[in-house]
């Protein structure tokens, strides 16, 4: 059961509590839990069934929630429309898309654009080398910081308090190669800053390898990570240095596209 929703905003502004509850309800849906029953949502949110049902009715009336064929609740078509608007309005994604499409073709690997999101990395765009003009199903997915090239790269360029918070949380072993020791990870972050890119091999998924490079904004802060990933047998070859160089060039192009000026 989640904690009761109590924030300063909820206490001060009339109606804010209902809005916060509705947001928490919508955020309960993800790839692991695409459907919920009324009872399950009630328990998850820490609300009684009457209140939960009232929230669901309002969201269902707006098309943000709908019933599945089995009677459970799932996200509705208006959420897809809102997500599409958010993607089209994202200036970083707009500035990156053409560069990502070209890179995916050049390196023949899947290319992703990711940002920090509450102690995780979120994929805000992804291009497959097989279908460079398509939209990946992974967009919106969140991945662990400690087991991904993008997560490690973004941590490497984050303030000390952000790193301390991320490394103080449990670091589960997702594969035999996942690094779970905080001090080992700290050492890796220093190496990433020195090298200028991050690389992980079979730390998130067995057989998968990824490399990430930083994207800077006009303030010269790292705001996102550009990555390429694929099977170890295809990535870990004599061509890897050339692919890494292409990735870094693409990341610099995107950085300049959002206002970065090298010092």
List domains and CATH numbers for the chain: 8-80 (1.10.10.10), 90-257 (3.30.450.40)
> Average pLDDT of 149-154?
97
What is the pLDDT at residue 149? Answer: 97
Q: SS in 3 state form for 38-58?
A: HHHHHHHHCCCHHHHHHHHHH
User: ∠ CA 217-223-225 to the nearest 5 degrees?
Assistant: 115
pLDDT at 91: 72
**Phi, psi at residue 91, to the nearest 5°?**
-65, -35
Dist CA 143 CA 30 (whole Å):
12
- In the chain, % helix, strand, coil (3-state, to 5) comes to 45, 20, 35
CB–CB of 50/38 below 8 Å? no
74-121 tens-digit pLDDT:
988 888 777 766 656 557 888 899 999 999 999 999 999 999 988 899
Question: Which of 54-63, 116-125, 199-208: highest mean pLDDT?
Answer: 199-208
Is the pLDDT at 56 greater than 80? The verdict is yes
pLDDT at 129: 73
Q: In sequence order, which ranges of the chain are alpha helices (DSSP H)?
A: 8-12, 16-27, 38-45, 49-61, 77-89, 91-107, 149-156, 160-168, 182-195, 232-235, 240-257
pLDDT at 71 over 90: no
Provide the token pair at 93: 């994604």
Q: Is the pLDDT of residue 163 over 70?
A: yes
Share of residues in the chain with pLDDT > 70 (%): 88
For residue 38 the two structure tokens come to: 């009324």
Output 3 or 194, whichever has higher pLDDT. 194
pLDDT (mean) for 232-243: 92
Q: What percent of the chain has pLDDT over 90?
A: 65
CA pair distance 112, 92, nearest whole angstrom: 12
């Amino acid at each position: 059961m989640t904690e009761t929703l109590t924030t300063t905003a909820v206490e001060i502004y009339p109606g804010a509590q209902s809005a916060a509850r509705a947001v928490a309800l919508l955020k309960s849906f993800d790839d692991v839990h695409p459907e919920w029953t009324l009872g399950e949502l009630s328990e998850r949110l820490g609300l009684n069934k009457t209140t939960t049902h009232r929230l669901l009715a309002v969201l269902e009336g707006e098309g943000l929630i709908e019933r599945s064929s089995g009677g459970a609740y799932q996200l509705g078509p208006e959420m897809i429309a809102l997500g599409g608007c958010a993607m089209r309005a994202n200036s970083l994604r707009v500035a990156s898309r053409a560069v990502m499409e070209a890179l995916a073709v050049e390196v023949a690997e899947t290319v992703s654009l990711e940002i920090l999101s509450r102690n995780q990395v979120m994929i805000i765009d992804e291009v497959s080398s097989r279908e460079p003009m398509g939209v990946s199903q992974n967009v919106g997915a969140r991945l662990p910081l400690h087991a991904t090239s993008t997560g490690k790269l973004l941590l490497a360029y984050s303030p000390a308090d952000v790193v301390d918070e991320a490394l103080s949380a449990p670091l589960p072993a997702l594969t035999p190669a996942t690094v779970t020791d905080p001090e080992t990870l700290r050492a890796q972050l220093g190496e990433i800053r020195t090298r200028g890119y991050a690389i992980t091999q079979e730390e998130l998924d067995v057989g998968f390898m990824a490399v990430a490079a930083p994207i800077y904004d006009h303030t010269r802060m790292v705001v996102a990570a550009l990555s390429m990933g694929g099977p170890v047998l295809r990535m870990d070859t004599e061509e890897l240095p050339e692919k890494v160089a292409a990735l870094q060039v693409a990341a610099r192009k995107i950085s300049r596209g959002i206002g970065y000026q090298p010092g």
